[in-house]
Structure 1
Amino acid sequence: MDGKLFSRASAEVIDLHRFFADWFVAARADRVHFGRFEAAMGEGLTMIAPTGQILDRKAVVDHVRASRATCDDGFAISIEDIKPGWQDGDTIVILYVEAQLRGGKHSRRQSSAVFTTSSSAPNGVQWRHLHETWLQVPEH
């Protein structure tokens, strides 16, 4: 297990979710640059949303771009229980739980993400695949 690759990928998971916390909140959206997000999303990215929907890179980028400033100041997101999964060469799987508070409703999702190294990406890694599964569906 390459500790440096795990460290870079873990930092990317945490930093990207900090980006989301700022990008989605109207009062903070002007503090972040969308190019950071685009640089982190690798070509050929796929995402399986907690609902089971499969999204390609364009759909993910378009959705995040359109979601700018759509949350109130109470929006919060945190990463829990981050750990390495499989690794080989310049590719690693990271496992983590994403917890959100949005509109006063809590949710949690188990996530697994595949990263590859990239010298042009934030933290030196790009997202290649993301799979999210509900642990706690947002309360109604």
Structure 2
Amino acid sequence: MSLFGKASAEILALHRFFVEWYDGATAEAADFGLFERAMGPGMRMIPPSGAVLDREAVVGHVRANRGAFDGDFDIEITDIHLVWEDRHAVLVTYVEWQRRAGARTARLASAFFTENPSAPNGVEWRHLHETWMQVVGSE
């Protein structure tokens, strides 16, 4: 499988994990170790706020919010696109749609992965940059 294929699988798997981890009804079954192994050393995240978070801050934030929702949280990933790929690294973009307590938001993300055969999907997150998108209309 190409690195782009591995990165796509990782993006989908990570967000399925988030839905399970953040739901109080399913958090107990979620495997936090898979999440930790997917976050590469030196990983950085820039959320829509513009803050720069290191790996420890990202892992700590996710760990602290276990079971934060009561069945009112969902994520859908769309529009995964390859930007650049070489033999050991890949840059992709995707759109993350979230629904929290009936409110819908969207983020455009750019993610950089490096190959790591021992990571859950064969790639590890090294850099993630998200920005808000305008959500038009309601459901």
TM-score in terms of structure 1 length = 0.93
Q: Find the counterpart in structure 2 of residue 43 from structure 1.
A: 41
How far is 1:86 from its partner? 1.2
Q: How large is the RMSD of aligned CA atoms in angstroms?
A: 1.1
SS in 2 for 1:63: helix
Deviation digits for residues 56-109 of structure 1, max 9, x if unmatched? 000000000001000120211010101111112210001100000012111000
**Structure 1: which 5+ runs fail to align?**
none
Amino acid at match of 1:86: W
Deviation digits for residues 8-57 of structure 1, max 9, x if unmatched? 10000000000000000000101111101000000000000111011000
Amino acid at match of 1:25: D
SS in 1 for 2:17: helix
How far is 1:136 from its partner? 3.4
Q: Find the counterpart in structure 1 of residue 84 from structure 2.
A: 86
Count of residues paired in the alignment: 135
Instruction: Tell me the percent identity.
Output: 53
SS in 2 for 1:89: coil
Amino acid at match of 1:37: F
Amino acid at match of 1:95: T
Deviation digits for residues 101-123 of structure 1, max 9, x if unmatched? 01211100000100001011011
Quote the Cα distance in structure 1 between the aligned partners of 2:39 and 2:80: 20
Q: Find the counterpart in structure 1 of residue 122 from structure 2.
A: 124
How far is 1:4 from its partner? 1.2
Task: List structure 1 runs of 4+ shifted beyond 4 angstroms.
Answer: none
Amino acid at match of 1:15: A
Quote the Cα distance in structure 1 between the aligned partners of 2:134 and 2:15: 18
Q: Find the counterpart in structure 2 of residue 136 from structure 1.
A: 134
Quote the Cα distance in structure 2 between the aligned partners of 1:7 and 1:87: 11
Match of residue 27, structure 1, among 25, 28, 40:
25
Matched, 1:62 2:60: yes
Quote the Cα distance in structure 2 between the aligned partners of 1:11 and 1:102: 24
Quote the Cα distance in structure 2 between the aligned partners of 1:61 and 1:87: 26
**Structure 2: which 5+ runs fail to align?**
none
